[in-house]
Every structure is written in structure tokens, then in C-alpha cells.
Structure 1
Amino acid sequence: MRDATWHQASIDQTLRHWDGRSDLWIFGYGSLIWRPEFDHLEARRARIHGYHRALCLWSRINRGTPERPGLVFGLDLGGSCEGTVYRIAGDRVPDILGPLWQREMPSASYIPRWLNCHTTSGAVTGLVFTMDRRDEGYVKGLSTEEIVAIVRQGRGRYGHCTEYVLQTADALDAAGITDRRLRAIARALRRPI
């Protein structure tokens, strides 16, 4: 876990090119779709290129334990990803980013990046949390069966890993976003053991 000083330094580094006034866009691809937990002026469906949604990060606190880890979503390299981009008011940025960093960056497993988020109303530059492949929690190459087994066993501070994955799958379906791999995982998780 990172402390408040580290979080603030990371926020300051990320915002070094922000003018301190303009509204800011944040891209959600996992739980931020169904539980953003911050006030926003607008939400748009958006697609980013160069990254895809994947259950690629061990969760040893929030959705699992060190002995029985779960998996959480990250944006891994390659492909594209549809999600939701949220516009937050410029004067609310300092209040919103602190709690957002505590939620998204507890162990610095993600790299905050500014990426083009393509919407039907045009592209916006959004803050996107991408997977740091050098992080010790990064995992790749798991089969659907392995993912399902890991997700089923995971339970942590925020509850069951299965619930987290199914809520994300349901939120994507409700938003009209197709993620075939996640749908296959969700179907397998809903089958009786």
C-alpha cells in the first residue's frame, strides 16, 4: 500500500500538463463503469486503442487474500477497449483525484496515462489507468478455466471476486458494450460448480 504523500506526488506528476482549470476526463473500463464514486458532469461511451480489458492483476486485499488471491481488471497492451469516459468539473479535480488514486492506485500497479478516448461526439483526451506489466501482481496467459477457478476462490475486503466480475459483465451488457472474453468468463462463473 502506498501512503498519502506518494499518492499526491503521483497525482501531481500526472497533472503536470493540466492547466488547473479545465474539465478533466476519466476513462472507466471495469468497476468505474458500475460504481464511479465521483461526481461528474457527463458520461459517454468511449473506445481507446492500444489496450484491452483483462483480468490480469492479482488481488490479495480487495478481492482476495495472499493465500487465496482473486483477479481484478487491468488494461493490458494490445487491441482496444470500450468503456465509459466521465467529465469532471475543473474545480472538482483536486477533491476527486485523491480518493480516486486511493482506489485505483493502492499498490501502484497501474500507470496513469493520457489517451485519446473516441466517442460518438468526437475524441477527448482522458486519464486512463493502464497495467504496469513490470508490477509483481501482473499475470498473463491464464486460460478461461484458470481465471474462473481463481475468481471463484477470491474473497477480500470488498467482497467476493465473482461478484466483482459479474457486476462488471452485467454493467457492460447494460451499456451495450460487447466483451466476448468477459462474457465467456461470466457464463462459466454462473454455471453450478
Structure 2
Amino acid sequence: MRKTSTARTQVPVAMQLTPDLVAKTFKLVEDDGPEPNWTPISPQQLDELVNRVEQEACDEEIWVFAYGSLMWNSGFEVAASDDAVAYGWHRAFSLRIERLRATSDAPGLMLALRPGGSCSGLVLKLSCETKEQDLRTLLAREIRYSEVCDMVRWISVKTPKGTRRALTFWASTKRSRITEKIPLDDAAVLIAQACGPAGSCAEYLHRTVLDLADRNIFDRNLWQLQQMVAARLRALP
């Protein structure tokens, strides 16, 4: 998937990936447990990761850069939020999955940050009163396996109030087997086919693009991708 820049602008036309098309991707899927060949993060490892992030925060406020599902489903009480742009990064469907919204028979893709371009999104502030618990909840959701603890990092983002240091989740180059660059054509195939116990990848794409559109954020790659996935789903019986 090529690098792309995102900007706050009027979305050009109506989405082609409609709720009716997304509904064609839904099916009942049993939970088959963790991703194959990966080790679920232990409570001790999660504690260590929480402690590491807290130490890196240096007792300052913790802001999280949201560019995908965290924008429309943060999973924690947001104390404050602001528009933000991450320069030098772009969102891409480059995280391969076989669980949650996919299966081993029909693998799928989720979003991650990749180097290059720019990415418009939000920064979300963790409440000072519940910071440790909210941070633990966030990390448990985003870092499910011990092998991918390096996929959480700090970046600088531009906001209307100035530059902020924000925590985010990226496609670490150390995990090339599951975070490689994927052409849009191949991504569309995987997203159109994948569904798991948490829903389908097409639903994830639809909700993300719709949320971006509601915020007047136009992501060229994601907009093209929803058109390609819609075309594949329209061709289904």
C-alpha cells in the first residue's frame, strides 16, 4: 500500500461501501483462541509494559494518537481530545490477522501506522484519575501478544494547540511477517473475505472511513480501498 497524505477537506462523493454491502460479509464465527504461533501477553508482561510507558511519560499527561478504531471506539473514558496530524506517518491496512475479524481460512487486515506521508486523526487524553487502569486497558487491547510489545511507541503530532507527544501503535519493521506493505488490490481481497467473532474487516473499514468522512478527513488510500472492496462485494451472489 503506497504512502498517502490525509487532510481535512470535504469528502468528494458518497461512499460506495454501504451498510448493505457490509452486511454481506457477516457470518457466525467461533472464537478459535489466540493468533497462531503467537504467545498471548501475560499479566506480568502487561504490567511491565504499563510500567515502561508510565516511566517514559515522566509523570506527564498521557495522550494517545488515534487514527483508526480508537477514533470511534476508544475503549476508555476520554478526558479531552483534539485534532492532530502525524507528519512522517500514514495509516495503512498492513497488519495481517487470523483472529478477531478474520480466521486462518480467511485471513484479513487491520490498520497500523507506517512511516512516510502524513496522517490526520485525533489525540485522546487519558484521565489523570484513572490513567493507570485506562492505560492497562488500552495496551491489553492493542498489544495482545508478547512478541509485538515493540509495536507501541511515542510520536510527535501537530495539534491546534501546538506539538504533543503521543502514544500510538505502528507496524514495527521487526515484525515483517505480519506488517509488510500490501498492494491495494491484495488488501481489498483480504478485507472483503475476512470475518471473525468480532465482526468483519469490511465493517472495520466502513466504520473507519465513515468516521473520517464525518470529521472531513479524506484519506486517499482508504477511500480507494472502500471502492475496491465495495466492487468485490457487489459481485458476490
Structure possessing the higher radius of gyration over alpha carbons: 2
Counterpart-to-counterpart distance in 2, 1:110 and 1:80: 21
Q: Equivalent residue of 2:64, what SS?
A: strand
- Structure 2 counterpart of 1:125: 165
Paired residue for 2:152, among 107, 112, 122? 112
Count of residues paired in the alignment: 191
Q: Equivalent residue of 2:104, what SS?
A: coil
Q: Equivalent residue of 2:114, what SS?
A: strand
Counterpart-to-counterpart distance in 1, 2:90 and 2:155: 13
Residues 14 and 112 in structure 1, CA contact (< 8 A), matched pair in contact too: no
Larger relative contact order, structure 1 or 2 (CA cutoff 8 Å, min sep 6): 2
Change (3 A) 1:109 1:14: closer
Report the Cα offset of residue 34 of structure 1. 1.0
Q: Do residues 186 (structure 1) and 191 (structure 2) align?
A: no
Counterpart-to-counterpart distance in 2, 1:109 and 1:179: 28
Q: Equivalent residue of 1:65, what SS?
A: coil
Residues 109 and 132 in structure 1, CA contact (< 8 A), matched pair in contact too: no
Report the Cα offset of residue 67 of structure 1. 2.3
Counterpart-to-counterpart distance in 1, 2:150 and 2:112: 8
C-alpha RMSD of the superposition:
1.5
Residues 101 and 200 in structure 2, CA contact (< 8 A), matched pair in contact too: yes
- Structure 2 counterpart of 1:14: 53
> What code does the residue aligned with 1:96 have?
D
Large movers: runs of 4+ above 3 Å: none
Residues 109 and 131 in structure 1, CA contact (< 8 A), matched pair in contact too: no
Paired residue for 2:183, among 134, 139, 143? 143
- Structure 1 counterpart of 2:89: 51
Change (3 A) 1:188 1:110: farther
Percentage identity across paired residues of the two chains: 26
Residues 62 and 159 in structure 1, CA contact (< 8 A), matched pair in contact too: yes
Report the Cα offset of residue 79 of structure 1. 1.5
Which runs of 5 or more residues in structure 1 are unaligned? none
Counterpart-to-counterpart distance in 2, 1:41 and 1:12: 21
State TM-score, norm by structure 2.
0.76
Change (3 A) 1:69 1:129: same
> What code does the residue aligned with 1:154 have?
A
State TM-score, norm by structure 1.
0.92
